[in-house]
Chain A
Amino acid sequence: MGMTMTQKILAKHAGLDHVVPGQLVEAKLDLVLGNDITAPVAITEFDKAGLTQVFDKDKIALVLDHSTPCKDIKSAQLCAQARAFAKRFDITHFYDVGCMGVEHALLPEKGLTAPGECMIGADSHTCTYGAVGMFSTGVGSTDMAAGMATGLAWFKVPAAIKVTLKGKLQPYVSGKDVILHLIGTIGVDGALYKSLEFAGEGVGELSMDDRFTIANMAIEAGAKNGIFPVDDKTRAYLAGRVNRPWEAVEADPDAEYDQEVVIDLNTLQPTVALPHLPSNTRTIDQVEGTHIDQVVIGSCTNGRLDDLRQAAAVLKGRKVAKGVRCIVLPATQQITLDAMAEGLIQIFIEAGCAVSTPTCGPCLGGHMGVLSDNERAISTTNRNFVGRMGPVSSEIILANPAVAAASAVAGCVADPRKL
C-alpha cells in the first residue's frame, strides 16, 4: 500500500521505510514553536521537570504575538518569562515586539518552514505550514516542552482525506471560501485525527496566500494537518527565503484515502460561517443584510498581503459605514511595509479603518477589538465559538477579506460583487 504526503514525511522523520495509519511513531522535529500564551506553560513544565538543555537552539521558534504589545500586567509577566528563557538558551528565532508578526504568517516569511520538514507548534493553527508541503501540527505546552528538550514528538500516523480541487476561483472568491466550504461539507470533526491531502489541477490556480489560509483552517475540520503538493508557485515562494536544502514529497499513486472530496473552484461562491461553529456555512446570498457592529481583517488566517489587497480593492474610494468599526491587522511587519509601499494602508485609513501593529488580539478576544454584549462581528479570523471575541452573547461571522471589507462599507453583511 502506498503512502500519502503526510505518511511519507512521518516515516522519514521516524527513520522508517514505511508507515501505516494508526501506527504510533516517534519523529525527529525540524522545528518547535511556541507563543506568549503557550510557551510560558511549557517553560514552567520544562523547569518543573528539572530539564536544563534544549535540543537545538536554532530549531526553536518563540513568537510573542497573542497578547502583544502587552495588554495587561499578567500578559507582560508571561512575555517576560518567555523572553528570559530565550535569553537563557540563546534561542536564535525569538521574535519580540518590533520584529514579531502573527506566528503562522511570520515563520514562512522568515524561511523557517520548508517542504518535507516535520514540526510541532504549541498553537492549533500550526497546521498552516502544510501550504509549503511539510508536516506541521498543533500540540499543547507539555509536548512543546518535550520537543524543546528532545527534538522528538510522538504521533499516531493519520489516515487521510483527499481533497481534489478543480477549476479556478472567480473574483472575490478566495482560499477562505474553499476551506469554509470544505468544513461546511465534512463538519468540524469531519477530519478528526486525519490529514487533509490537497490535490488536483486546481491547486496550481491557488496563490500561496490562499494555500496558507486553507491549510490554516484544517484544524477547524478536526484534522491533524492539511498539506499541499509542491509546485512552481511553492518554489518561487521559497526562493530567497529558505537557504537550506529541502526535499519535496509526493503522494504515491496507490496511497489510500478514507474519503475523497471534490471541490469545483469555478462554481464556489463567497461563503461565510454563521455563529457558533465554522461548519455553520452559508453562501453570501443567504445572509446579505445581516446586521454587524465590527469588522476584523487580519489574523494567521487572512492577514497576508493578498488578503489586504483584496480588502483594499473593495475599500478604495469608499467609507466604512457609520456605526461600524473596521480594524485591519497586517500579520507581520514586512506585510505592513509591503502594504504601505502599495498604498493599501492609506486606502484603509482614508476609508475610516483602524490599522494595528501585528497581533492575534481580537481573534481570541484578547485585545484590539473585543466585542460588547450582543454585538456581532464579521471577521476574517478562524473561529466563531461562543465567547471567542467577547461575552457569550456576542457573535462572530467568519468571511473572506473582500466580503468583510464590503460589509464594512455596507454596514451589514454584503456581497462585494454588488457594491
Chain B
Amino acid sequence: MKVYKYGDNVDTDVIIPARYLNAPDEKSLASHCMEDIDASFASTVEPGDIIVAGSNFGCGSSREHAPLSIKACGVKCVIAPSFARIFYRNSINIGLPIMESAEAAAAIQAGDKVSVDFASGVITDETQGKTWQAAPFPEFVDRIIEAGGLLNSLKARGVAK
C-alpha cells in the first residue's frame, strides 16, 4: 500500500478534468484520475494505495466524478488536514473513505507504507513507526456509512421510495 502525496488545495478540475465528464463510467473516470496534477498516477496506482494531501482537498466543482474516479482506482482512503465541504459529503455519500488528520498528512511521505483502521480511526505509518488518530465522524455520518451510502440509508428509513 504505497502513498501518493500532494499539496494544498487539490481541486476537482485536476482530480478529474472537465473534458472527461462526458463519460461518467467508472473505467473511464479511473483512467484519467489525477491526470492534470500527476500524469503517471492512473497508470501506477494499485488497489489499496493511499492519497495523502494538504488542506482543502477536493475544492472547486461539485462533480461527484472526482471521488468516484479516486474510488474506482481502488484507492483505500484519502488523508488530509481538511476537505472541501462538497467533496467531503460526496465521499461519505458514495463510500470513499476519507480521514482528517493534519499531523498524519504532514508527516507521511510519498512512498511510505501506511495502514489505516476505519473503525478506530488509527493511521499507522509502518515506514516511520508512527501512529495518529484521525478526527472521528459524527454519529449521523457513521450511520450513512454503515448503511452503505446515503441512498441506502434513506431507503432503510423508508423516506425514499
A residues near B (Cβ < 8 Å) are 24, 37-38, 40-41, 44-46, 49-53, 66-67, 71-72, 74-75, 78, 122-124, 126, 138-143, 145-146, 149-150, 152, 154, 156, 188-189, 192-193, 219, 222, 224, 277, 364-366, 383, 385-388, 392
CB–CB B22/A72 < 8 A: yes
Report chain B residues within 8 Å CB of A40.
Answer: 24
Minimum Cβ distance to chain B for residue A68 (Å): 12
Beta-carbon nearest neighbor of B64 in chain A: A140
Residues of chain A within 8 A (CB-CB) of B160 are 49, 51, 146, 149-150
* Contact status of A192 and B82, CB under 8 A, knowing A41-B24, A146-B151, A150-B160: yes
List residues 87-145 of chain B with CB under 8 A from any CB of chain A: 89-90, 93-94, 138, 140
Please state if A78 and B22 are interface contacts (CB–CB under 8 Å). yes
**Which residues of chain A come closer than 8 Å to B155, judged between CB atoms?**
49-51
Q: In the complex, which of the residues A38, A46, A387 contacts B63, with contact meaning CB atoms closer than 8 Å?
A: A38
Pick from B13, B63, B82: contact of A385, CB under 8 Å: B13
Q: Give the top 5 A-B pairs by smallest Cβ distance, nearest first.
A: A140-B90, A74-B22, A140-B64, A142-B93, A189-B56
Question: Total contacts A to B, CB within 8 angstroms?
Answer: 141
**Interface flag for B60 (CB, 8 Å):** yes
Pair A41/B13 contact, Cβ less than 8 Å:
no
In the complex, the chain B residue whose C-beta lies closest to that of A366 is B18
Q: Which of B9, B17, B151 has the most CB of A within 10 A?
A: B151
Q: Report yes or no: B14 in contact with A385, Cβ–Cβ below 8 A.
A: yes
> Taking CB as reference atom, which chain B residue is nearest A151?
B159
B37 within 8 A of A: yes
Quick one: closest A residue to B14, CB to CB? A386
**Within the assembled complex, what's the spacing in Å between the Cα atoms of A154 and B93?**
11
Interfacial chain B residues near A149, Cβ < 8 Å:
151, 154, 159-161
A154 to B14, CA, bound (A): 28
A392→B17 CA distance, assembly (Å): 10
Query: Are A188's CB and B161's CB within 8 A?
Result: no
What separation, in Å, do the CA atoms of A147 and B9 have in the docked complex?
28
**Total number of B residues with any Cβ neighbor in A under 8 Å:** 43
Apart from the given pairs A40-B24, A123-B62, A152-B154, 12 other A-B contacts in the complex at a CB distance below 8 Å = A24-B140, A46-B151, A138-B86, A139-B86, A140-B89, A141-B64, A142-B64, A142-B149, A193-B85, A277-B9, A364-B61, A385-B60
Q: Separation in Å of the B93 CB from the closest CB of chain A?
A: 4
Do A142 and B151 form a contact, CB below 8 Å, given A189-B55, A189-B56, A277-B9? yes
Tell me whether B150 is interfacial, beta carbon within 8 Å: yes
**Contact A146 B56, beta carbon cutoff 8 Å:** no
Residues of chain A within 8 A (CB-CB) of B11 are 383, 385-386
Taking CB as reference atom, which chain B residue is nearest A75? B22
B42 at the interface (CB under 8 A from A): no
Q: Does B76 sit at the interface, judged by CB under 8 A?
A: no
Task: Give bound CA distance, A51 to B24, whole Å.
Answer: 20
Which among B13, B19, B82, B90 is the interface contact of A189 at CB below 8 angstroms? B82
Given contact pairs A49-B155, A49-B160, A189-B82, A143 touches B89 in the complex (Cβ within 8 A): yes
Q: Which of B67, B85, B138, B151 contacts A49 (CB 8 A)?
A: B151
Q: Does chain A have a CB within 8 A of B5?
A: no
In the docked arrangement, what's the CA distance between A192 and B10, Å? 14
Please name all residues of chain A whose beta carbon is closer than 8 Å to the beta carbon of B149 when the two chains form the complex: 142
B14, B89, B152, B159, most chain A CB atoms within 10 A:
B89
CA distance A220 to B152 in the complex (A): 31
Could you tell me if A365 and B55 are in contact, using CB atoms closer than 8 angstroms? no
CA distance A124 to B18 in the complex (A): 14
Give min CB distance, B146 to chain A, whole Å. Answer: 15
Rounded to whole angstroms, the CA-CA distance of A71 and B21 in the bound complex is 12
Q: Are A364 and B18 in contact (CB under 8 A)?
A: yes
Contact (Cβ within 8 A) A140 B161? no
B56 nearest CB neighbor, chain A only: A189
Q: Are B140 and A154 in contact (CB under 8 A)?
A: yes
A-B contacts, 18 of them at CB < 8 A, read A24-B138, A67-B21, A78-B24, A123-B62, A140-B93, A142-B94, A142-B149, A146-B160, A150-B154, A154-B140, A189-B9, A189-B82, A222-B85, A224-B85, A366-B19, A383-B61, A387-B13, A392-B36
Closest B residue, CB atoms, query A71: B22
How many angstroms from the CA of A364 to the CA of B152 in the assembled complex? 32
Instruction: Determine the chain A residues whose CB is within 8 A of the CB of B60 once the complex forms.
Output: 124, 219, 383, 385
> A residues within 8 A CB of B17?
365, 387
Contact across chains for B82 and A143 when beta carbons are under 8 A apart: no
Inside 8 A of B63's CB, which chain A residues have their CB? 37-38, 140
Q: Which residues of B contact A385 (CB under 8 A)?
A: 11, 13-14, 60
Query: Which of chain B's residues have a CB closer than 8 A to the CB of A41?
Result: 24, 64-65, 68
CA distance A383 to B18 in the complex (A): 13
Chain B residues in 8 Å Cβ range of A52: 161
Q: How far is the CB of A348 from chain B (nearest CB, A)?
A: 26
Task: Give the CA-CA distance A142 to B94 in the complex, in Å.
Answer: 7
Q: Which residues of B contact A24 (CB under 8 A)?
A: 138, 140
The residues of A that contact B90 with a CB separation of less than 8 Å are 139-143
